[in-house]
Structure 1
Amino acid sequence: MQSQRFWGVASGMAAGALWGLVFLAPKVAPEASPMMLTAGRYLAYGLIAALLIAPRWRRVATVLDWKAWRALAWLSLAGNIVYFVFLVVGVHFAGVGASALIVGMVPVVVALWGLKDRDSPPLARVAPPIAIAALAVGLIGWESLSRGGGAGQDGVQTLIGLGCALAALLSWSAFAVGNSRWMGRLPEISPHDWSLLTGVVTGGFALLLAIPAVLTMGVWSSEGWLRFIGVSFTVAVFASIIGNAFWNQASRLLPLTMLGQMIVAETLFAFLYGFLWEGRGPTVVEIIAMILMVVSVVWCVRAHRPAAIAAAEGEH
């Protein structure tokens, strides 16, 4: 059990490290619209996923019934297409800091949602690490906003960006919960194959999205196209293919309340990548917030140890 927890935490942290890259995509390719970035990323994801799963397609597809395919469709929309469109708009209008702050609240939403699971500890055991995670995200977001995370935008645009980041939060929370449930229902499908199936379905949606995206795009330079293609394939491979495989592995090894804490890593790494992009080091407040995030994850791991859960149940 302890080994399972360890590998679940390691997989969740690895997924967060790779997912943090998506916050830089709008900055690296600023000429691309949210629709264009989303279509490019997920067309690349769908193509790569289709090639990787092709040798096993017949065997894997026969395991899925109509309900599973329908679940893959809404998970692909909630966790990929809808989430990424809202996230890109949030980063464009409200900045990386504000967007990462709001999306970073996913652990709180998912952990509270998962408290009704049978293998979850009582609220009193998980409330402190959840509160610490919220405090850490709040500190990082406050520091980023005080630095002018939405600089150059008027009030209306910033408000739109914050609203889109909130929509991204709700969309990804629904995906995290739904994906964990379906991973538990289909143990015969590996986490990697489930990620590839999600990629194939997402690629289909991206193909439809590409039509209006191309029709509404402006004139790009060859350098702009190279940046866009590079960003699309880099994010597709590292965040969508490898990152999702790590996350699905964590989803299978960890209970939902603990899984939510792992999403904190995405916010942490998003800010680290932001520091590198801006060419600066973290401030004192940002360092404190990062330490609080690590403390939150470690505390949550301890709260989910069988001995801790048994002791908590004995107290009631």
Structure 2
Amino acid sequence: MVEHHRRGIAAGIAAGAVWGLIFVAPGLAPGFTPLQLSAGRYLAYGIIAALLLAPTWRAVTARLTAADWRALAGLGLAGNIVYYVLLAAAVQAGGVAMASLVIGLAPIAITLAGSRDRHAVPLRRLMPSLALSAAGLACIGRDALSTSGSPVGLLCALGALVSWTLYAVWNSRVLARAGTVSGGQWSLLVGVVTGLEALVLAVPAFVWTEGAHEAAAWWRFIGVVSTVALLCSVFANTLWNFASRALPLALTGQMVVFETLFGLLYGFLWEARLPTRYESAAIVLLVAGVVACAVAHRGDRPRRAPAGAQPQPLP
């Protein structure tokens, strides 16, 4: 079981490393709106997911219940469509550092949300981890919030945080009870449903939006959203689903900090600069917070739920 936890932690870190790319993606396709970036990414995600799932579509979907389909639709909106629209708007209005900072609050939000789940580590044992994470985020925010000139960007980032927290908690609880499909199959199903939702979003994104782009800009846009869809939606989501099943929810929440760390790293590379003293201190504190959380969970062993036990209610 210890080895299973280690693999779950590794999968969570790898997912964060890939997800960090989403913070620089809006800058790779300048001139396109958050709606267009979200619609393009999830149309591509839906197409890729449908192709990968096609050989086993009937067998997989035959095992799904009506509740599973409702969960897929809700997760597609909360964790994909709404989240990425708000995040892209936050990056464009407030910059990579500010957006990374606010999304970096997700480990604290998810850990608190999962602190009352079955077999969760008591909150008092998580306080050192939460304190270190909060201190690290305070270091990042010292300059980021004071130099960000757009309150709209901050509000969008906070909205993205709420959307992502809902997705992470909801997805973990659904996966805990949806034992008929694998984490990879579940990720692809979310992709197919999200692709259908993106079709609806495509109308206001591409038809009702003013402004024209040259052919080269469109090809660049297609390349960016397709790459983000394949890496961040298909590959990283599969890693995250493995981590969600291998780790307690409170520890899974701490893994999200790596999305922030890698997002900042990619942002520094994009801006061709080194981190400041406060940013360097924040990286150390955030990593220490994750290590402290892992230590708090050491020795805990998930126990099999008694027969007839009811699943956790969805938020």
Range class of TM-score, shorter chain: over 0.9
Counterpart CA distance in 1 for 2:156 and 2:293 is 29
Shift of 1:111: 0.3
Scaled by the length of structure 1, the TM-score of the pair is: 0.92
The residue number in structure 2 matching 1:122 is 122
The residue number in structure 2 matching 1:55 is 55
**Which aligned pairs between 1:236-247 and structure 2 lie closer than 5 A?**
236-247=229-240
The residue number in structure 2 matching 1:283 is 276
The residue number in structure 2 matching 1:224 is 217
The residue number in structure 1 matching 2:77 is 77
Shift of 1:299: 1.1
How high is the sequence identity, in percent, across the aligned residues? 50
Shift of 1:143: 3.5
What code does the residue aligned with 1:235 have?
V
The residue number in structure 2 matching 1:87 is 87
- Shift in CA distance, 307/181, structure 1 to aligned 2, threshold 3 Å: closer
The unaligned stretches of length 5 or more in structure 1 are 310-316
Find out whether 1:193 has 2:185 as its counterpart.
yes
Shift of 1:74: 0.4
Find out whether 1:177 has 2:187 as its counterpart.
no
The structure whose residues are more often helix, as a share, is: 1
What code does the residue aligned with 1:123 have?
L
The residue number in structure 2 matching 1:248 is 241
What code does the residue aligned with 2:100 have?
A
Counterpart CA distance in 2 for 1:200 and 1:112 is 31
- Shift in CA distance, 60/244, structure 1 to aligned 2, threshold 3 Å: same
Q: Tell me the number of residue pairs that the alignment of Structure 1 and Structure 2 aligns.
A: 301
Counterpart CA distance in 2 for 1:124 and 1:29 is 45
Counterpart CA distance in 2 for 1:79 and 1:34 is 15
**Which aligned pairs between 1:1-40 and structure 2 lie closer than 5 A?**
1-40=1-40
Residues 248-280 of structure 1: per-residue CA shift (max 9 Å, x gap): 010000111101100000000000000110111
Shift of 1:145: 4.1
SS of 2:63's equivalent?
Answer: coil
The residue number in structure 2 matching 1:167 is 159
Supply the RMSD in Å over aligned alpha carbons: 1.4
Q: Kindly indicate whether the alpha-carbon contact (under 8 Å) linking 1:17 and 1:266 is maintained by their aligned counterparts in 2.
A: yes
Shift of 1:308: 10
Find out whether 1:234 has 2:220 as its counterpart.
no
Counterpart CA distance in 2 for 1:161 and 1:294 is 26
What code does the residue aligned with 1:4 have?
H
Find out whether 1:66 has 2:66 as its counterpart.
yes
Counterpart CA distance in 2 for 1:82 and 1:221 is 28
Shift of 1:138: 2.2
What code does the residue aligned with 1:114 have?
G
Counterpart CA distance in 2 for 1:63 and 1:110 is 29
Runs of 4+ deviating beyond 6 Å:
none
Shift of 1:160: 1.2
The unaligned stretches of length 5 or more in structure 2 are 303-315
The residue number in structure 2 matching 1:313 is none
Find out whether 1:259 has 2:252 as its counterpart.
yes
